[in-house]
Amino acid sequence: MTARRYQALTAAVAAWLAILVAFALHLEIPYWSGITAWLVTSMDRKDVLQKGIGQVVATVIAAFVGYGLATTTEGSVALQLVTIVFVIAFGTWKRHTGAAPLAWVMSTLMVMVLLVESIISPASVGTVAIYRSYEMLTGVATATIVAFAFRFQYWRTARTEEARVAPPRSDHGIAFASLYSGFASIVILIVWDAFNIPSIVPVLISVIVVCGPDLKAMRALAWERVAGCITGGSAGLLVVGLSIQSLWIWSLLLLAGLFVAGNFHHTSRPYAMAGTLAGIVFMLVTVGNGAPQNSLQLPIDVVVGISLASVLLALLLQLAEPWVRLHGKEPKGLRDADSS
C-alpha cells in the first residue's frame, strides 16, 4: 500500500470511528467528531501523541474564549457579526504565522460555532459549548489513537516530505489573505442571513483554509471546494437515498466513501482541497443527529447551501485580481507566487 493510500485509510478510519464513538456516547451532533478527526489526521505528525494533546488543550481554551465572546456580544447582532469577521481574519493570520496551524484552525472553528449559535439561539450557547467540546475532543482523541496505532508518519517517503515543504513566508501576502478573509466572511454572512443557508460554520471555516498568500492558489482552492461539495454531497445523497436500516452496513459505506475522498484529501494539488471538502460534506449529509441520516430534505438543503456559498467565495476570489491591480501593486507574496 502506498503512503498516500495508507494516510487516506488512517483519516477514513479515524473519522469513521469518531462518529461511531459519538453515537455510542449519545453526543448531540456526531458529525462534528468525524469532521474534527478528518481534519486532525490531515496533517503529518512527528509526534502524534504530543500533537493530539495540543489539540485537546487548544479546543478547551477555544471553548472558553468562544463562550466568553458569545455571551459578551449577545443582544447585538452588529457586534456579533463584527466579532465573527475579526475572528476569521485573526484565525487566517495565525494559521499562516503561528507555530501550530491546525490548532489555530480547530480553535477558530470552535469559536465560530459558539458565535453563530449566539446569533441563532442565544439561550443555548452554554449547552452547545459543552456538546461541541465533547464532540471535538472525541474527534481529536480518536484521531490521535488511530494515527498513533497506524504510525503512518513512518510510511512517508522522502518524495512526500519534499512535496510538502512550505513556501517562503510573505507577510504582505498573509496580511492580504487575512483582510480578504474578513471581507469574504462579511459577504457570506449577508447571503446567509438573506437566504438562510444551512451549516454556515463549515463555509466560514473554509474561508480560513482557502485564503492564503497566493491569490492564484486561492482561486484554484475555491473552485476545488465547489467540486468537493458537489461530489461529496452527491455521494452522501446516494447513501441516504438507499435508506439502509443496518447501522453496520451504513457505517461500511461511510468508511468506503471517506477512504475514496481521503485518497484525494492526501494527494498533492490540484485535488487535495476537493478531497477534503468531499469528505466533510459526505459526513454532513450522511450523519444525522445521533443516528444515520434518514431524510433527504435536510441533506439536500445542506448540499445546495454549501455549494452556493462555495461558488460565491470562488467568484469573490475571481473578482479580487482585477481589484488589486486597479488599486495598486499586488502584495509581494501574491505577485511572486503567480510569477513562479
Residue count of the chain: 340
Task: Give the residue numbers spanning the domain of 26.
Answer: 3-339
Domains held by the chain: number: 1
C-beta atoms surrounding 290 within 10 Å: 13
222, 317 contact by CB (below 8 A): yes
The Cα 336–Cα 318 span in angstroms is 18
The Cα 195–Cα 278 span in angstroms is 23
Asked if pLDDT for residue 337 goes beyond 60, the answer is no
Asked if pLDDT for residue 43 goes beyond 70, the answer is no
What are the cell numbers at 32?
462534528
The Cα 208–Cα 243 span in angstroms is 35
Query: Among the residues of 98-167, which ranges form H helices?
Result: 101-120, 125-150, 158-163
Which letter does DSSP use for residue 213 in this model?
Answer: S
The Cα 283–Cα 162 span in angstroms is 31
C-beta atoms surrounding 38 within 10 Å: 28
The Cα 83–Cα 80 span in angstroms is 5
pLDDT band for 235, please (50, 70, 90 cuts): very high
55, 133 contact by CB (below 8 A): no
pLDDT band for 16, please (50, 70, 90 cuts): very high
The Cα 210–Cα 92 span in angstroms is 9
Q: What is the pLDDT of residues 105-152, one digit of tens each?
A: 888 888 888 888 888 888 888 888 898 889 988 998 898 888 878 765
The Cα 274–Cα 54 span in angstroms is 27
Q: What is the pLDDT of residues 295-326, one digit of tens each?
A: 777 777 777 777 776 777 777 767 766 655 55
3-state secondary structure of 271: coil
pLDDT band for 1, please (50, 70, 90 cuts): low
Sign of the alpha-carbon dihedral angle for 322, 327, 331, 335: positive
pLDDT band for 201, please (50, 70, 90 cuts): confident
Calculated CA dihedral for residues 73, 76, 77, 83, nearest 10 degrees? -30
Q: What is the pLDDT of residues 47-67, one digit of tens each?
A: 556 666 777 788 889 999 999
What are the cell numbers at 330?
499586488
The reported pLDDT for the residue numbered 159 is: 39
Element counts in the chain: helices (H) and strands (E): 14, 0
